[in-house]
Structure 1
Amino acid sequence: MIDIRPFASLGAARHGWLNARHHFAFGQYRNPDRTSWGRVRVWNDDEIAAGTGFDPHPHRDMEIITYVRQGAITHRDNLGNEGRIVAGDVQVMSAGSGVVHSEYNLEDETTALFQIWIMPDTLGAKPHWGTKPFPRTTGQGFVTLASGQPDAGDALPLNADANLRAATLAAGEATTLALPAGRAAYLVVAKGAATVNGLRLDERDAAAIVAEATLTILADAEGAELVLVDTEE
């Protein structure tokens, strides 16, 4: 089953400095049909004005992933971590037993990003933070950037039975991904357009996927940049 969720159907919030679109119920956006998908609880599509951002605030017991689509974001937290994550980079903050962090756009342009929250397997775990570049090379299919599985190689660690995968496809390029039984996937086209098992997704559209053994993804004439999270159902 593949449920296409067009960008125009997402929840919306405008705060002046922040324009947000919500794939799932969040803040003032209430939608009982879209509260989560598998272990994915939040997927926000945010645009943050230059010189603004999220002031220091706490989180706990949540795996928080940020993928920067445009511009850059500067992270600081009370664990001593600090980093500037530019377009094409991914960061993982495993909030665990508790962390206070800020995320600021210190650039002179709007920063656009996806913020993804995944519910953890274990509560009260030791928090951690890390970053990784998005795969820009075409022809290699999906690359695992973060994972809670033991055989994930150099992927950033997650405290959840989940995988964050990404792919850059050239114009007309296709790739496949196996989705084992009992797994749910959420796919968003970050840039470009593509079809997934024959169903079209335009830029920033999403597909909520379950009970599909194989995904066949074909990039449109402009190519495509894809972000996918799979978790247990």
Structure 2
Amino acid sequence: MIELRPFSTLGGANHGWLDAKHHFSFAGYRDAARMGWGALRVWNDDAIQANTGFPPHPHSDMEIITYVRDGAITHQDNLGNRGRTEAGDVQVMSAGTGIQHAEYNLESDTTRIFQIWIIPDGSGGAPTWGSKPFPRGDRSGRFVTLASGMAGDENEALPIRANARVSGLTLAAGESAEYAFGDNRYGYLVPAKGAVDVNGVRVAARDGAAIRDVTTLRVTAIEDAEIVLVDTAP
């Protein structure tokens, strides 16, 4: 089953400095049918204006993955971590027992990100943050693991505390790639750029595709595309 969730149907709000679209219920957007997908709880599509950002605020017991689509985001937190993550790269924050952080666009142009929240397998644990470059060229024609808590991914990806995997893929128009799901898994796919065919379903840029009871996913680019996929336990 692949359920298309067109970008035009997403909730959201424009705060001036932040134009946010929500694939799932978040903040003032509530939809009982979109409270999450497996352990995936939040997928926000955020455009952050230059020299603005999210001021310090707390989180706990959540795995927060930020995929930078355009521009760059600068992170700082009360643990002393600070770092700048550029377009195509990823940062991960395991909130654990609690962390206070800020995310700013210190660039001269708009920064665009996907912010993905995954429910951890357990509560607690010391909070952590990390960032890693993932050159788009290295993902050409194949899924590359960006963040994961699944066995076998330890040397490749940023670690998260959940039975889940976040993957990235770039395809030139006409190219295809496949992804194999384990039993009883949930998938959620969003093209950051470009339209794709996903097992016969056309998914345009920034649409969501909710995937369940699928063994093999075949993604074919209708136009040059950049794709992010989350694979989680129920």
TM-score (norm 1): 0.97
1:226 matches 2:227: yes
Conserved 8 A contact 2:64-2:92:
yes
2:121 is paired with a residue whose SS is coil
Conserved 8 A contact 2:77-2:100:
yes
Structure 1 CA distance, aligned partners of 2:56 and 2:24?
23
RMSD: 1.0
C-alpha deviation, 1:14, in angstroms:
1.1
C-alpha deviation, 1:135, in angstroms:
4.2
C-alpha deviation, 1:171, in angstroms:
1.6
Alignment size in residue pairs: 232
Structure 2 CA distance, aligned partners of 1:133 and 1:112?
16
2:8 is paired with a residue whose SS is helix
Aligned-residue identity in percent: 60
C-alpha deviation, 1:140, in angstroms:
4.1
1:186 matches 2:202: no
Paired residue type of 1:231: T
C-alpha deviation, 1:165, in angstroms:
0.5
C-alpha deviation, 1:216, in angstroms:
0.5
Q: Please list the CA deviations of residues 12-39 of structure 1 after superposition, one character each: whole Å capped at 9, or x if unmatched.
A: 2011111000000011101001000000
Structure 2 CA distance, aligned partners of 1:191 and 1:95?
29
Structure 1 partner of 2:129? 129
Q: Please list the CA deviations of residues 36-65 of structure 1 after superposition, one character each: whole Å capped at 9, or x if unmatched.
A: 000010000001111110000111100000
Q: Please list the CA deviations of residues 167-204 of structure 1 after superposition, one character each: whole Å capped at 9, or x if unmatched.
A: 01112110011111110000000011101001101111
C-alpha deviation, 1:154, in angstroms:
2.5
1:30 matches 2:30: yes
Structure 2 partner of 1:175? 177
2:206 is paired with a residue whose SS is coil
C-alpha deviation, 1:145, in angstroms:
1.0
C-alpha deviation, 1:139, in angstroms:
4.3
Conserved 8 A contact 1:43-1:114:
yes
Of residues 163, 166, 172 in structure 1, which corresponds to 2:165? 163
Structure 1 CA distance, aligned partners of 2:140 and 2:227?
13
Conserved 8 A contact 2:141-2:175:
no
2:194 is paired with a residue whose SS is strand
Structure 2 partner of 1:44? 44
Q: Which runs of 5+ in 1 are unaligned?
A: none
Q: Please list the CA deviations of residues 87-141 of structure 1 after superposition, one character each: whole Å capped at 9, or x if unmatched.
A: 1111000101111100001111111100000000111112111112234125441
1:8 is paired with a residue whose SS is helix
Structure 1 residues 144-163: aligned runs within 5 Å? 144-152=145-153, 153-163=155-165
Of residues 183, 208, 211 in structure 2, which corresponds to 1:209? 211
TM-score (norm 2): 0.97
Q: Which runs of 5+ in 2 are unaligned?
A: none
- Stretches of 4+ aligned residues off by more than 4 angstroms: none
Structure 1 CA distance, aligned partners of 2:102 and 2:221?
35
